[in-house]
């Protein structure tokens, strides 16, 4: 069970001081629920691991972009890592500082670049030569200096799912580290660009710190080549990607991750005074969240038995998209006869791929509540309205208080922007 999730006296799931059954009674199901204390604890664990060393924690907004979550982190002093202008707008709506925000992503449009510069973005992480030239052109037209770093691809195997590996030469992300030097020289000489750092990100859900260390070593080798050419840096952005426990993973602690990075950077006189920036998302939001769902029907079978729940792949895409194995635990028992079995936990979407978990041994009754744990990251942020299903409500628990930070969508809002064609 993640921190700040426990069992009450009846054995039902409790988030901080609030019972899951109370949340569902108030907000219906399925519903995403998050622990504010868990979010703050994860952020502080990273910050404390740095101690007095200069650093910036830029929360990866794509993991969970609810402005209620972003506001909690902004109050803690977090920076932000964004991949669209929409995410920047969310950061600003939540009280975050654009000047402490980095803009990543391989396909920034001209409008997004201009909007970010107008907002006072802290740094544009450049992922191709074409993008670098576009930024220079836009900044020149705006008569501004654009703060940039190159996102270099260090060709380090993160040993994670291929869909979330970002640091190999075959991935679409970043600039090959061996090709970065001439682009840095060009940017350094350009009057509309200000070189501020180096950025890299090698993947997500890493459960070993050695790839982080390998990437840091390659980034430092590039930093030395830049220094030889008179190009000084203001920060090193070493990305994110630290994994969390979903079922039986044993990911490193925050302190282990930071120590792996610092063992390389702080040992180098060139960089030991440079601020280290990191971009965690899943590590902060993932363990803080759960998806609460109700068992609608039990369908025992000769070969497979199905527990059909009211949450579906449109609410939580990770199992269907990545084959992710996420813990599913009882959250509240309904009255009625219980059926022991090994259940496929499936939703009502008309797809065989609509499942939340396979072969889960549980005693269930129709009406039971279940919780999919570790769903705080890439849960709601990847949700859709497939099958014209409203997305779930989102609730933030703070001690004994619940805050509805996103209402469940009214059904008619799903076609509010559509219109019937005009006819003669």
Q: Is 281 annotated as a binding residue?
A: yes
Contact status, residue 379 vs residue 388, Cβ threshold 8 Å: no
Q: Is 279 annotated as a binding residue?
A: yes
Contact status, residue 70 vs residue 92, Cβ threshold 8 Å: no
State how far the Cα of 285 lies from the Cα of 128, in Å rounded to an integer. Answer: 29
Contact status, residue 132 vs residue 139, Cβ threshold 8 Å: no
Orientation angle between helical segments 85-93 and 110-119, nearest 10 degrees:
30
Contact status, residue 369 vs residue 24, Cβ threshold 8 Å: yes
According to DSSP, the β-strands at 193-199 and 146-153 are parallel
* H or E stretch at 58: strand 55-60
State how far the Cα of 243 lies from the Cα of 41, in Å rounded to an integer. Answer: 16
Nearest of 278, 264, 158 to residue 216 by alpha carbon: 264
Query: Measured between alpha carbons, how far is residue 397 from residues 4, 131, 316 in Å?
Result: 10, 41, 20
Nearest of 316, 412, 405 to residue 27 by alpha carbon: 405
185-196 core/surface letters (b: 16 or more CB in 10 A; e: else): eebeebebbbbb
Q: Is 262 annotated as a binding residue?
A: no
Contact status, residue 377 vs residue 291, Cβ threshold 8 Å: no
Q: Is 322 annotated as a binding residue?
A: yes
Angle formed at CA 152 by CA 51 and CA 212, multiple of 5 degrees: 40
348-385 core/surface letters (b: 16 or more CB in 10 A; e: else): bbeeeebbbbeebebebebebbbbbbbbbbbbbbbbee
State how far the Cα of 256 lies from the Cα of 212, in Å rounded to an integer. Answer: 11
Q: Is 280 annotated as a binding residue?
A: yes
Is 200 assigned a catalytic role? no
Among 58, 200, 350, 402, the one annotated catalytic:
350
Contact status, residue 33 vs residue 289, Cβ threshold 8 Å: yes
User: Which residue numbers belong to the known binding site for substrate?
Assistant: 282, 318, 322, 351, 378
User: Which residue numbers belong to the known binding site?
Assistant: 241, 279-282, 318, 322, 351, 378
Residues catalogued as catalytic: 350
User: Which residue numbers belong to the known binding site for pyridoxal 5'-phosphate?
Assistant: 241, 279-282, 378
């Amino acid at each position: 069970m993640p921190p700040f999730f426990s069992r009450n006296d009846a054995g039902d799931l409790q988030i901080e001081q609030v019972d899951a059954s109370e949340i569902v009674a108030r907000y219906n199901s399925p519903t995403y629920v998050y622990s504010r204390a868990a979010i703050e604890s994860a952020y502080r664990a990273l910050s404390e691991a740095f101690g007095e060393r200069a650093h910036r924690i830029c929360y990866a907004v794509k993991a969970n972009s609810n402005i209620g979550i972003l506001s909690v982190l902004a109050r803690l002093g977090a920076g932000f890592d964004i991949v669209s202008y929409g995410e920047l707008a969310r950061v600003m709506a939540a009280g975050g500082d654009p000047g402490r925000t980095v803009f990543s992503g391989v396909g920034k449009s001209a409008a997004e670049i201009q909007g970010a510069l107008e907002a006072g973005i802290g740094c544009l992480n450049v992922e191709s030569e074409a993008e670098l030239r576009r930024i220079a052109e836009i900044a020149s037209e705006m008569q501004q200096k654009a703060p940039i770093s190159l996102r270099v691809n260090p060709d380090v195997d993160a040993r994670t799912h291929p869909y979330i590996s970002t640091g190999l030469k075959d991935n679409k992300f970043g600039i090959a580290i061996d090709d970065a030097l001439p682009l840095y020289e060009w940017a350094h000489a350009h009057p509309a660009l200000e070189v501020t750092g180096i950025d890299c990100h090698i993947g997500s859900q890493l459960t070993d710190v050695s790839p982080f260390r390998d990437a840091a070593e390659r980034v430092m080798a590039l930093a030395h080549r830049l220094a030889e050419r008179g190009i000084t840096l203001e920060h090193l952005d070493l990305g994110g990607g630290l994994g969390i426990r979903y079922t039986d993973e044993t990911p490193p602690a925050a302190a282990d991750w930071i120590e792996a990075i610092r063992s390389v950077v702080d040992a180098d006189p060139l960089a030991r005074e440079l601020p280290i920036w990191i971009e965690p998302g899943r590590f902060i939001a993932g363990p803080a969240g759960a998806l609460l769902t109700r068992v609608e029907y039990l369908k025992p079978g000769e070969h497979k038995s199905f527990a059909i729940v009211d949450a579906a792949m449109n609410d939580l895409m990770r199992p269907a998209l990545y084959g992710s194995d996420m813990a599913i635990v009882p959250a509240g028992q309904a009255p009625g006869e219980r059926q022991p079995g090994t259940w496929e936990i499936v939703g009502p979407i008309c797809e065989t791929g609509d499942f939340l978990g396979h072969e889960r041994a549980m005693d269930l009754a129709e009406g039971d509540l279940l919780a999919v744990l570790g769903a705080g990251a890439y849960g709601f942020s990847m949700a859709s309205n497939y099958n014209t299903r409203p997305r779930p409500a989102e609730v933030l628990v703070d001690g004994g208080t619940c805050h509805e930070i996103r209402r469940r969508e009214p059904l008619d809002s799903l076609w509010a922007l559509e219109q019937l064609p005009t006819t003669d």
